Structure 1
Amino acid sequence: MGEPGVERIRNFRLHAHHLDARYDEADVLAVVGACGMQNTPPGAWKAALHNRVPALGAEDLERLLHEKRSLIQAWSFRGAPVVFPAADSDAFLTALVPQKDEPWIYTQGIGLALDALGMEFHEVLALLERVMPKLDDKVVVSKTALDQTLADWVEPLLPAGKREPWRAPSMYGSPDKQTVGGAAVSFLLRPCALKGLVVFGERSGASPAFTSFRAWLGRGLEPSKDAPKKLVRKFLHCYGPSTADRFASWLGCSGKQARRLWKTVVDEMEPLTCDGKRAYVLAADRERLFAPEPLERELLLLSAHDPYLDQRDRAVLQADKTLQRRIWRTVANPGAVVRRGEVVGTWTGKKKGTGLEVEASLWAGDVDVRELRDLAKDYAAFRGLELVGFKA
């Protein structure tokens, strides 16, 4: 069988990301659990889920996360806050715990703090793990408060000669708000999250809140030997055909860790050729990949950081590298106008009082602007706003 071609890949990935049709509330766990939903900036996961299950309002989503707790938010791949089904916690957390000499995700910057303390990574992490169970009975509001609260809990466990440098002002840019100990804790919260020791709780106004996995769900995190397989399957189903290197990029982990995880499902993969290079797809997905189905929805208004836009092979979404730089910026990515899987423009929204102004920049001249405006109107309503301006 020949190359699938970019249009088949787009069709396959739209289906895997539940963007080919409008899904129902009964599908929520499958939709969110496909590959998790990043929640930076705050609210990104809600916009992503709205695009897949538009019948649910923002309050419905809050209920799923904070009341039913069938969903959970924790630091996961790339060290980012991610919302995923509580039942998939092993895949999004414990599967990412490194082995042997593999580095932890999102901890590279801790070196300055460790040098100032004269301590090793594993020493500080072990001390932090000893105090983390105190979160079983506590909710801490704001990330700054969490860092310093945990640092204060750790301090009595330090050798006497380490306590003064632990309390010294941080070297990471906020010496008036953070200590060296608080900075070290900040980096080590990712390993703690992957071990099920800290999760996000219900926000308090504009501030995030934090507690333990046990306090949130009433049980501890239970590792599973199949967790690595589950994680790789999720990636390949949503982003296949792909490679181990792209998997490493998506996770934000070392190549060594990614290759170890990748090998757990190698007997479930099949090779094929994409753009002249070898890539892999789950054997169970190959038939669907080569047999695209009609899309019930061809035009989408995706918010920045939607999981569909997280594809590592960006040329699938937009072949023009100049336009790619307008989609994926260093900071403040815009939303994307997607037609049949291809990004054909960007958009931004600006809140004005109780209204929302949306401006789109289109690169294709045959986009249905009226349909695009309707999508913007729906998005504004989802946010409890009125569309007061639209330009494309």
Structure 2
Amino acid sequence: MQANCLARPVDEAGPGGVADVVRRTGGLQAQSWRGAAYAVRARSTATTLADVSRAQEDDRSAVRGWFMRGTLQLVAVEDAGPLLGLLGAKLIKDTSRRFGELGLTPSIRAEAADRLEEHLLAHGPSTRAELADLLVKAGLISEPKGQAVYALIRYTGLLGRLCYGPGETWVAVQAWLGRPLVLEGDPEALARRYLTAYGPATARDFATWSGLPVPAARRAVDAVATTTFEVEGTELVAVGDVPGCQEVRMLGEFDAYLLGYQDRWQELPRSIFPGGGMLRPAVVEAGRAIGTWRHADLSVDAPADVSAELKDLARFAG
């Protein structure tokens, strides 16, 4: 819990504080923007909800796109290129069956990526409907409302050519960041970042979190790990030891702390992890998930004093 910054080590306000959180954690799950924002809140003391949007949309020190596991993440701008350099090609390969089901051949995908980037460079932030209309008019897909639209947008993102812009729009990376991404990554550097934020853990945990093949993940972890622990017969490694955190923290949905491992679901109440890919807002105390809470009315179902957290949630919301 302390390694994952839930002792709230970041005390900088503004977009700089948001970028610091994202950098320290190696990225935050962001298919739910609200979940990503609350993840920042849980790891900092002075950032606000508005700061999270400012970091991504105005300051552009954080980038929202498809990174670890091919899911939407909020990552530090300097990490975007190295992550896609390591993961992009494998994630595209892992999606090949779905591309086939949608009729998206390699040539269609390549032309779609070119046309999407050209449009975004010329017209700026664009909605899904606008990009769908472009792809239909180009004869690359037959109708604008199917899953092929998103698949082609995501494919172009995995190439490092587009990312999220303001709200639910997409932009050309080259225009948005002022330069193209350099797609070169070091698996050992990523393993060190992972173990710093999620250790103690295993090589399979690192592979699950990142999307790297297990053999590559194991080689990288073996090269950088400096500390070994044995927990219930399983060897876990880290790049250091920390005293731990005994505090209570309220986490948003899909929080990175609960998604950073191969198999820790046995520690999660079914109220948090009901299945179907959902991971609800959680209350964590001394490292363990002990209950849930609701964004809508801030009701809490957990055996813990959350008064300080509720007060800080109000501060964060402004």
**With structure 2 as the length reference, what TM-score do the two structures score?**
0.85
Partners of 2:171 and 2:236 in 1: how far apart? 41
Among 231, 248, 263, the alignment partner of 1:299 is 248
Q: Report matched runs for 1:341-356 at 5 Å.
A: 341-350=287-296
**1:375 matched residue in structure 2:** 309
Q: Which of 99, 110, 119 lines up with 1:110 in the alignment?
A: 99
1:125-173 deviation line (CA, Å, top 9, x unaligned): 22223324312222344334334424434x3xxxxxxx7xx42x5xxxx
Gaps of 5+ in 2: none
Look up the equivalent residue of 2:281 and give its one-letter code: G
Matched residue type, 1:325: R
- Conserved? CA contact 1:75–1:193, under 8 Å: yes
Contact 1:139–1:201 (Cα < 8 Å) also in 2:
no
Unaligned segments of structure 1, at least 5 residues: 1-13, 156-162, 170-176, 351-356, 385-392
**How far apart, CA to CA, are the structure 2 residues paired with 1:262 and 1:141?**
40
Give the C-alpha shift of residue 222 in structure 1: 1.1
Q: Post-superposition shift, 1:380?
A: 3.3
- Out of 250, 258, 270, which is 1:309 matched to? 258
Q: Aligned-residue CA RMSD in angstroms?
A: 2.8
- Kindly name which structure, 1 or 2, has the bigger radius of gyration based on alpha carbons: 1
Q: For the structure 1 residues 332 and 273, does the alpha-carbon distance in structure 2 shift closer, same or farther, using more than 3 Å as the test?
A: closer
Percent of pairs with identical residues:
25
One-letter amino acid of the structure 2 residue matched with residue 336 of structure 1 = A
- In structure 2, C-alpha distance between the alignment counterparts of 1:299 and 1:331, rounded to whole Å: 25
- Cα deviation digits, residues 235-271 of structure 1 (max 9, x gap): 22222233333333323x4x7x343354245322355
The verdict on how the C-alpha distance between 1:191 and 1:273 changes in structure 2, with shifts beyond 3 A counting, is farther
Q: TM-score, normalised by structure 1?
A: 0.70
Helix, strand or coil: the match of 1:15? coil
1:61-76 mapped onto 2 (5 Å cutoff): 61-76=52-67
Number of residues paired by the alignment? 311
SS at match of 2:208: helix
Q: 1:126 to 1:343 in 2, by over 3 A?
A: same
- Once the two structures are superposed, what CA deviation does each residue of 1:95-153 show, in whole Å capped at 9, x if it has no partner? 21236xx8535554223222xxxx64x22222223324312222344334334424434
| Structure 2 counterparts to residues 102-141 of structure 1, below 5 A | 104-106=93-95, 108-114=97-103, 120=105, 122-134=106-118, 135-141=120-126
Point out the more displaced range, 63-72 or 135-144: 135-144
Task: Give distance in 1, aligned partners of 2:51 and 2:308.
Answer: 22
**Contact 2:247–2:286 under 8 Å retained in 1:** yes
Of residues 272-281 and 63-72 in structure 1, the stretch that sits farther from structure 2 once superposed is: 272-281
Residue 78 of structure 1 contacts residue 105 of structure 1 at CA under 8 Å; is this kept in 2?
A: no
Shift of 1:338: 0.9
Q: Return closer, same or farther for 1:42/1:222 CA change in 2, 3 Å cut-off.
A: same
C-alpha change, 1:82 and 1:125, in structure 2 (3 Å) is same
Tell me the distance in 1 between the aligned counterparts of 2:263 and 2:269: 7
Q: 1:107 to 1:139 in 2, by over 3 A?
A: farther
